[in-house]
Amino acid sequence: MAQLNSVDFFQVLKQSLLQLYCIQTIHAMKTLFLLKLTIFMLLNHIAPAQTKSPNVMNNSTYTMTITQTFNAPLEKVWTAFTDAESIKRWWGPVGFTAPIANINFREGNVSLVCMRSPDGFEIFNTWTYQKISAMKSIEFIQHFTDKSGKKIKPSDIGMPPGIPDEVPHIITFKKIGDQKTELTIVEHGYTNPQIVEISKNGTASMLQKFATEVER
């Protein structure tokens, strides 16, 4: 086996260290590139979608807005939000039932509603009416409660972060001709944009049942 003199040894060592340095440098550059690319994607795809969204109220709260037109006269759509038996037929997403709707439809009063999931889990809410403009709008604050109507925190029943203790709602009604009505539901105060999407999907599902109720 050939012997290396000191000069050759240091030349080989130098080349080996240089190769190792190049490999590490390339790896570091790739890592830095991927990091910059990730930051770029976050800033240019996620952040603008939030800051430009009409759902953003300020740096910490978001709103959910959904609008749908129904083939039903204004009076029938309005009644569906004020009559207990009607609310029982549409409250909650598709697959849920509403066994309880104790409705006290007057400003300052509180209604208690319950939706029951297909596996039997019950969610109770109260609606505290702030302002009612007949055939035009309903404003109320929704709270999560126990079955007696006592307020609880959303997290007490396993709700995800981002749902505030109280959620102000504004429901507006717009007559379109004699047989159509535009309904807009706005929910304020969410602190997580993902919760806004969850609420919007749930409301859209609920409005399928609402359409069945008012368009029959």
Q: Give per-residue pLDDT as tens, 152-196.
A: 999 999 988 889 999 999 999 999 999 999 999 999 999 999 999
Place of tokens 């969850």: 198
25 in the same domain as 109: no
Name the token pair of 65: 């807005």
Apex CA 133: angle with CA 128 and CA 138, to 5°? 40
The mean per-residue pLDDT over the stretch 74-83 comes to 98
Select from 52, 74, 90 the last residue of a domain: 52
Q: Give per-residue pLDDT as tens, 92-134.
A: 999 999 999 999 999 999 999 999 999 999 999 999 999 999 9
- State which H helix or E strand residue 45 sits in: none
153 in the same domain as 131: yes
What is the pLDDT at residue 50?
33
What is the pLDDT at residue 51?
31
| 170 part of a folded domain | yes
What is the pLDDT at residue 104?
98
Distance CA 166, CA 150 (A): 13
| 33 part of a folded domain | yes
Q: In terms of pLDDT, which residue wins out, 47 or 78? A: 78
131 in the same domain as 171: yes
pLDDT band at 55 (very low <50, low <70, confident <90, very high): low
The mean per-residue pLDDT over the stretch 72-91 comes to 98
| 35 part of a folded domain | yes
pTM, whole model, 2 decimals? Answer: 0.73
Counting beta carbons within 10 angstroms of the beta carbon of residue 79, is it exposed (0 to 12), middle (13 to 18) or buried (19 or more)?
middle
Counting beta carbons within 10 angstroms of the beta carbon of residue 52, is it exposed (0 to 12), middle (13 to 18) or buried (19 or more)?
exposed
Counting beta carbons within 10 angstroms of the beta carbon of residue 21, is it exposed (0 to 12), middle (13 to 18) or buried (19 or more)?
exposed
| 57 part of a folded domain | no
16 in the same domain as 92: no
11 in the same domain as 81: no
Name the token pair of 75: 């009076």
Select from 9, 27, 52 the last residue of a domain: 52
151 in the same domain as 110: yes
84 in the same domain as 30: no
Q: In terms of pLDDT, which residue wins out, 54 or 163? A: 163
What is the pLDDT at residue 11?
58
Apex CA 28: angle with CA 26 and CA 30, to 5°? 70
The mean per-residue pLDDT over the stretch 15-36 comes to 42
Counting beta carbons within 10 angstroms of the beta carbon of residue 48, is it exposed (0 to 12), middle (13 to 18) or buried (19 or more)?
exposed
Q: Output the average pLDDT for the chain.
A: 82
What is the pLDDT at residue 60?
80
CATH no. for residue 95? 3.30.530.20
The mean per-residue pLDDT over the stretch 137-162 comes to 95
| 108 part of a folded domain | yes
- Contact between 45 and 182 (Cβ < 8 Å): no
What is the pLDDT at residue 87?
98
69 in the same domain as 20: no
Report CA 137 to chain centroid distance, whole Å.
Answer: 22
Domain that holds residue 196: 62-215
Q: Look at the chain and report how many structural domains it folds into.
A: 2
Asked if the model's pLDDT at residue 28 lies above 80, the reply is no
Residues paired with residue 126 on neighbouring β-strands, in sequence order: 112, 143
67 in the same domain as 45: no
Q: Give per-residue pLDDT as tens, 64-73.
A: 999 999 999 9
